[in-house]
Amino acid sequence: MATLHSFQNEMDQIAAKQRTDIPLPDKGKAKADSAPTDDSDEREIEETIMKALLSNADQARDLVASLITRHVGEYVFRIGLQPPRAQLFDNELIDDVGGWTGIARTEAELDELKEKITAVVEEVGGKSSVLFKASIPTPRVSLLLRLPPLSVAQTPEVRCCVVGNVDAGKSSFLGVLTRGGLDDGRGRARVALFRHKHEIESGRTSSIGMEILGFGPSGEPYPSDYRPLQRAGLQAAKIVSFSDLAGHERYLKTTLYGLTSGAPSCVILIVGGNAGLIGMSKEHLAIALALGVPIVVCITKIDMTPPQVLAETIKQVTKILKSPGCRKTPVFVKSMETAVEISAAFGKNKLCPIFLVSNVTGEGLDFVRCFLNLLPPSDHDDKFRADEPLEYVVTEIWSVPYVGSVVNGIVNSGVVKTGDAILFGPDSNGNFQTTSVRSMQRKRADITRAEAGQCVSLALKRVRKNAIRKGMVIVHKDAQPKAVRRFEGQVLILYHNTTLQKGYQAMLHCGAVRQTVRIVEMDAEHLRTGDRARVTFEFLSHPEFIKNGQKMLFREGKTKAIGVILQTIA
């Protein structure tokens, strides 16, 4: 497995090289130059602000406004001595303050500073809320400072994929998390999430379900039984979008499409406490590791699982995460303080948060909501560049009465506006067709502009539904996109029971592109499990729009391989 990790680093370097060929915009440079580089820098800035709060209110206001702006509109501000994260993540008993950082505060000083910073944040148009407060062994508090977005179009979004084995409790978990009510223990919470009649009858998800959880300026959750970005005159300050993926083996193709096309910030792996990490859960974990997506584990059904069985499940999950194939550091989130701190450290040092939850009693769900509320937005990832030409990838297609053909997808780069003249394609011959954007929506709210990283729906003028397919791209009319039949990639064979040779066919997943490919050339006579090679692939059905640096995964049965595109061939 050391080969897998080194190969993933190579893929990341190739993808990063493709992005750095174009200079960073000024705002990206400013953000990179001014943002804190580590925890010690953040603590120093926090102490400077607290000194200014007690002496110079104008300076404090300017510092707070700058701090929140640099951190994409929200920041966790800590007052008082803070425990080392390593100690907190190990769930050690905190009975002394040896090795703690910051300045000790009394309860009176804590309350005074909290009131002052709340007033300062409100002056700059933001909101302050208490995430965590404790007095033992020393007074400390963590505050969420958040600036509401100026418009619906600028609301930050976190994208998550929910995976796991059949009957692990994925849909029930999402139903309870996003809709506010608890489950009755017989699957009531999941029914509202199903999209098809056969899903309701079987109780199993077979499609990609979408659920949304909104958070207000003060961090309060907004249930999803409303227009997600706006409710009763209030505007959500952040939204979390969940892709509820199928757990059954026969729907693995659909699950893979959801993982590769949705550009998720994390994968939430649901493990039934009574069954453990079995069946497709292991397959989903392996795929997430291969794609390099951060992982969160939720162990459900803790209310009905006998203590000894739950302990065995926890032991199994911990052992698998620590194994050489995963190399993750499990962190059991059993307090609000841990939930706050793991959200800041998540994605670094291979940390894997583990939540113990019950959909019936609600135990552990508050920790999950707090963690999700503080995750960095997906649409502010460095791989999405607003200064590059428009590239929008189609992931879903609908036909809406009185509107026409509507596509949903992610803006990979550039900006798209209502009324823009665009090209969409490629079709079966590799050609692109012209049309224009009739209207746009983001999570059911009307908008007129969307930027790189955002997931939006576009209504296209005078375009038939059967003229569009998943995996197509939309670019500006002046662009000159090129579809290709062949491409060369660097691949690593994760598993194959015999040998791969020229002529081998498999299903390729590359972003939203999903098509059968054939190996036409490779720099080795044959390939086995663990082998690496440069391979030339050919699409069997029709040309596709792909780019150098894109990650890919191809599979056939139990055969799995990952890779990165090195060169497209006409």
Ordered by start, the domain boundaries in the chain are 1-34+482-570, 35-146, 152-380, 391-476
What is the average per-residue pLDDT within 42-57?
84
What's residue 229's pLDDT?
Answer: 55
Model confidence at 188: pLDDT above 70: no
The pTM for the full model equals 0.89
> Model confidence at 122, in pLDDT bands (50, 70, 90)?
very high
Alpha carbons 203 and 175: distance in angstroms, whole number: 13
Alpha carbons 304 and 32: distance in angstroms, whole number: 48
Going by C-alpha positions, the residue among 483, 464, 486, 463 that lies closest to residue 473 is: 483
Model confidence at 226: pLDDT above 60: no
In CATH terms, 1-34+482-570 corresponds, of 3.40.50.11260, 3.40.190.10, 2.40.30.10, 3.20.20.150, to 2.40.30.10
Mean pLDDT highest for which of 56-70, 214-228, 512-526?
A: 512-526
> Model confidence at 270, in pLDDT bands (50, 70, 90)?
very high
What's residue 344's pLDDT?
Answer: 86
The DSSP output letter for 360 is: T
Alpha helices in 323-446 (DSSP H): 336-345, 365-374
Q: Among 50-54, 203-207, 289-293, 388-392, whose mean pLDDT is lowest?
A: 203-207
Model confidence at 505: pLDDT above 60: yes
DSSP-based helix, strand, coil % in the chain, nearest 5: 30, 30, 40
Residues near 439 by beta carbon (within 8 Å), at least 6 away in sequence: 403, 418, 446, 458, 459
Going by C-alpha positions, the residue among 248, 288, 228, 259 that lies closest to residue 161 is: 259
The two beta strands, 238-244 and 157-164, are parallel
The two beta strands, 209-215 and 266-272, are unpaired
What is the average per-residue pLDDT within 260-287?
91
The DSSP output letter for 527 is: B
In this structure, whether the domain defined by 391-476 belongs to CATH 2.40.30.10 is answered with yes
Alpha carbons 214 and 499: distance in angstroms, whole number: 49
C-beta of residue 158 within 8 angstroms of C-beta of residue 378: yes
Residue labelled with tokens 């958040």: 146
C-beta of residue 360 within 8 angstroms of C-beta of residue 183: yes
C-beta of residue 42 within 8 angstroms of C-beta of residue 68: no
Neighbours of 372 (CB within 10 A): 23
Residues near 97 by beta carbon (within 8 Å), at least 6 away in sequence: 81, 83, 104, 137, 138
C-beta of residue 413 within 8 angstroms of C-beta of residue 396: no
Q: Same CATH topology for 1-34+482-570 and 152-380?
A: no
Write out pLDDT tens, residues 8-36. Answer: 777 777 777 766 554 433 434 333 333 43
Mean of the per-residue pLDDT values for the chain?
Answer: 86
The two beta strands, 455-460 and 433-442, are antiparallel
Write out pLDDT tens, residues 199-208. Answer: 444 445 555 6
What is the average per-residue pLDDT within 54-63?
86
| 528's tokens | 């086995």
Write out pLDDT tens, residues 398-410. Answer: 999 999 999 999 9
What's residue 33's pLDDT?
Answer: 37
Tell me which architecture the domain covering 152-380 has in CATH.
Answer: 3-Layer(aba) Sandwich (3.40)
The two beta strands, 505-510 and 140-146, are unpaired
Is the four-CA dihedral 163, 167, 169, 175 of positive or negative sign? positive
What's residue 564's pLDDT?
Answer: 94
